[in-house]
Amino acid sequence: MVGRIPIMNVTPLVDLGRQPAKATVGEPLPVTASVFREGHDQLGAEVVLIGPDGRRRPTVRMTKHADVPDRYEAWVVPDAPGAWSFEVVAWSDPLGTWQHDAALKVPAGVDVELMFTEAHLLLDRVLTSLDPRDPASAGAAQVVQSAIEAARDTTRPDAARLAALESPEVADVMYRHPVRELLTVEGPYPAYADRERALFSSWYEFFPRSEGATRDEKTGRVTSGTFQTASKRLDAVAAMGFDIVYLPPIHPIGEVNRKGPNNTLDPGPDDTGSPWAIGSKDGGHDAIHPDLGTFEDFDAFVGRARDLGLEVALDLALQAAPDHPWVTSHPEWFTTRADGTIAYAENPPKKYQDIYPVNFDNDPSGICQEVLRIVRLWMSHGVRVFRVDNPHTKPLAFWEWLLREVRRTDPDVLFLAEAFTRPAMMQALGAVGFHQSYTYFTWRNAKWELEEYLREVSHETSHLMRPNFFVNTPDILHAFLQYGGPAAFKIRAALAACGSPSWGVYAGFELFEHVAVKPGSEEYLDSEKYQIRVRDWDAADREGRTLAPYLTRLNEIRRAHRSLQLLRNLSIHWSDDENVLVFSKVARDPSGAIEDAVIVVVNVDPHAARETTVHLDMAALGLEEHDAFVVHDEITGEDWTWSAHNYVRLDPFHEPAHVLDVRRTR
């Protein structure tokens, strides 16, 4: 039933409370509710956060929304990982009602003595509620006692008595020590706080077989890299400021229906095939491709990454090559067509003749236990992050079960969903436990598209899914990068690194790799999915043909600014140019004061300089409309004095973006 003080439309709430809302240790979590009552009496509301230990944290008072009637909001911060819950508490506020009525009646000479009598009776209740053992209560008691004396002192002018009762000191005590009547509680509602890496991370993807690979100049034959050679690349990845190195599948690759270069169907004897075509006579998901090395080599790779401050993310692709051991031992795990053949994977117009998708309906228990076994195997070798390939093609209930089982024993293990699919499925995958999600960011390039999408992921879906803005993937080379030149790579990197607390780069991005297999395609020419790519990183560094210094600087800025490590704190501002995007992010200290603020201005046109006026929502920055303040460009090192309206010129052939640290007011 509805409570005495109605509390409705509580957020964050996922699947009617059946799933926990997304939270992160140290990340402010907004709680909102519609709170109202009959008549005109005032009310109050607050949020109580309940930790995994069952301990109730200090209450946080809710404040009225500036624009939405009867909408209240508070920000709470989980301080430990685990399963949390929160309650919304509302009450009739006789002190607030008195303040409202007295301000109208006493100056008008209406019920004057009655108002003062009610004041001292209410303040007596406040005085009684103060804990004499609490030193902080001593000052409050003194303030309240003085106010009671003023209310009772009929020798003073009425205006003076009212002024004493309306003083900031008395108002502060009334706010901090309210008289609660008709107390109403809604909840508890669940939230789960993950470790910080679930929210704030910088990913770098590379194929181990390409790192350290060599090409014989005479024969053209390519020799695969190994874990030992790939480990040498880790130093450069760490130096660029990335904290997760993601490896595509490292398992044996099928020989039946193996793909050749550029997804052709006629491979040569030396063609390596796609790592996503998992399984051969050398083993399946619990084995390592023999060209890469052994489990001992993998353990050494993970250890080296750990020494450099990197976590290793492993691809979890639940599919099989036609010669995967599962096909023989568990044919019921696949779909058999009318002609007796096993159905291969399709994502029209793409066809994957080298891959059999798993059918989860014939033996769900067997498949579940096998996948859990595989995940735990790699966890035992130091993998605490998994990037899951195409999770939207598997039953949602399976993921809910698997992620819950892993979280039960190893809550630090994280899963990233690679699901470029319909919004309902993407959000549902986040709801059932995926910690991060690939997004539509790659296809949001115009200013208006970016504004809408940044609002969506920061505010509308943040309780369901955490975005990871990958600038490219082995599958996705957007036309913006194909035809935008080096400026396009800077633009997309700046947008991803500053627009989302988690972002990712696939190797080759820093070398401006941009050639598609054919016009209109998003596939790379000579895609690394089907062949080894030999890159000369050292030559690119020597010749200055690399974006690595820029990526390094972006990651340095992200680590220096708390505001860029958060999700729910983004505000869109305005410019007079349809190609100049402006947004800001702020971080607040425990008192609510802004301790870090960053303004990002990006020219999203890679072909031309743009000059315009930027218009700031000063309140979003914690500033007054007429304030002037200093901004420091973290990219160029320049300083400017800004105000609410500012001239900006951004040349993509020089620097297409400002990342501005709001330093101080003047």
Residues annotated as catalytic are 389, 418
Residues counted in the chain = 666
Residues 456 and 501 sit within 8 Å (Cβ to Cβ): no
For residue 519 the two structure tokens come to 């016009």
**Cα radius of gyration rounded to whole Å, the chain:** 30
For residue 523 the two structure tokens come to 């596939």
**Residue 347, Cα to own-chain centre: how many angstroms?**
28
- Would residue 54 be called left, alpha or beta, if left means φ above 0 and alpha means ψ between -120 and 50 degrees? left
Q: Alpha-carbon distance 114 to 127, whole Å? A: 20
Q: Alpha-carbon distance 580 to 122, whole Å? A: 55
Residues 612 and 576 sit within 8 Å (Cβ to Cβ): yes
The full 3-state SS of 597-629, as one line of letters, equals EEEEEEECCCCCCEEEEEECCHHHHCCCCCCCE
For residue 573 the two structure tokens come to 């501002």
How many helices and strands (H and E) does the chain possess?
Answer: 17, 32
Three-state DSSP class for 550?
helix
Fill in the DSSP letter of residue 344: P
Residues 478 and 443 sit within 8 Å (Cβ to Cβ): yes
Q: Alpha-carbon distance 229 to 301, whole Å? A: 9
- How far, in Å, are 157, 349, 358, 426 from residue 112 at the CA level? 11, 80, 79, 61
Nearest CA-CA partner of 31 in 60, 2, 52, 5: 60
Q: State residue 523 phi and psi, 5-degree precision.
A: -85, 140
Nearest CA-CA partner of 230 in 252, 246, 254: 246
DSSP symbols for 305-343? HHHTT-EEEEEE--EE-TTSHHHHH-GGGS-B-TTSPBP
Residue with tokens 């290793």: 312
Q: State residue 290 phi and psi, 5-degree precision.
A: -60, -25
β-strand partners of 11: 32
Residues 311 and 234 sit within 8 Å (Cβ to Cβ): no
For residue 652 the two structure tokens come to 């993509």
Residues 618 and 627 sit within 8 Å (Cβ to Cβ): yes
Which pairing describes strands 356-357 and 350-352: parallel, antiparallel, or unpaired? Answer: unpaired
* Sequence-separated contacts (24+) of 61-64 with Cβ below 8 Å: 61/175, 62/31, 62/33, 62/35, 62/88
